């Protein structure tokens, strides 16, 4: 595999992983609302779900390529509906006193990734666009999906870190920040459906 192909693959991964998406925005919103400790189960859920989805993408590209277009089309609309619900929830959420906040759940973070069409498209596009011309070996595809997972975890961790840094600012300006986050999620839906 030529070096420029690997370089292009990595650039694509960095850009795709670090742009705002449902997982990154939910992580940012959760850490600013609940803090690191209460948000940790959700973050672990996001990371675990991301790994599971990328393994599914590897299997799709490896063996079930003919089923992917129909499956992706259905998931696109399910994902858009969930992201819309998430945007509305974030936009209209209220800042609760510390003692009444419930912690974010592992399941919420994990399940978000299964309806997050962006990461399905990311995984499948990265493999079919850069790797399958040179190898369709399951182990090679798996290796590159694990690179994608590492990039995704790094990116989401950066968004979590940003949330920790701005937590006090967020408490003072939560309504404006939540509306901006919700509008960004609406843009994710628009770019997904257009």
Do the beta carbons of residue 26 and residue 42 sit within 8 Å?
Answer: yes
Under DSSP, the state recorded for 19 is S
Q: How far does CA 144 lie from the centroid of its chain?
A: 17
What tokens does 104 get?
A: 């974010």
pLDDT of residue 70: 58
pLDDT of residue 106: 92
pLDDT of residue 99: 44
pLDDT of residue 100: 42
Residue in 19, 43, 17, 18 with CA at minimum distance from that of residue 32: 43
For 129-146, write each residue's pLDDT tens digit: 888 888 888 999 999 999
- Would you kindly state where each structural domain of the chain is located, as residue ranges? 3-193
Do the beta carbons of residue 112 and residue 26 sit within 8 Å?
Answer: yes
pLDDT of residue 67: 58
Q: Residues with Cβ < 8 Å from 73, sequence gap 6 or more?
A: none
pLDDT, averaged in runs of 10, over the chain (194 residues):
85 81 85 86 94 93 62 60 76 63 77 86 83 86 96 92 81 83 77 63
For 65-80, write each residue's pLDDT tens digit: 545 555 545 656 765 6
pLDDT of residue 52: 96
């Amino acid at each position: 595999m030529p070096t420029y192909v690997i370089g292009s693959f990595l650039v694509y991964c960095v850009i795709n992983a670090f742009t705002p998406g449902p997982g990154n925005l939910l992580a940012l919103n959760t850490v600013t609302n609940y803090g690191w400790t209460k948000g940790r189960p959700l973050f672990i859920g996001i990371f675990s779900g991301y790994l599971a989805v990328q393994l599914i993408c590897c299997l799709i590209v490896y063996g079930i390529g003919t089923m992917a277009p129909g499956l992706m089309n259905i998931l696109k609309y399910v994902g858009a509906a969930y992201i819309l619900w998430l945007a509305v929830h974030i936009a209209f959420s209220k800042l609760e006193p510390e003692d009444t906040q419930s912690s974010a759940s592992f399941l919420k973070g994990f399940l978000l990734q299964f309806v997050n069409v962006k990461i399905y498209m990311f995984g499948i596009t990265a493999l079919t666009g850069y790797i399958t011309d040179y190898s369709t070996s399951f182990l090679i595809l798996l290796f590159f999906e694990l690179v994608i997972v590492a990039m995704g975890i790094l990116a989401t961790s950066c968004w979590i870190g940003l949330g920790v840094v701005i937590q006090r600012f967020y408490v003072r300006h939560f309504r404006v920040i939540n509306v901006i986050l919700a509008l960004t999620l609406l843009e994710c839906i628009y770019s997904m459906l257009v």
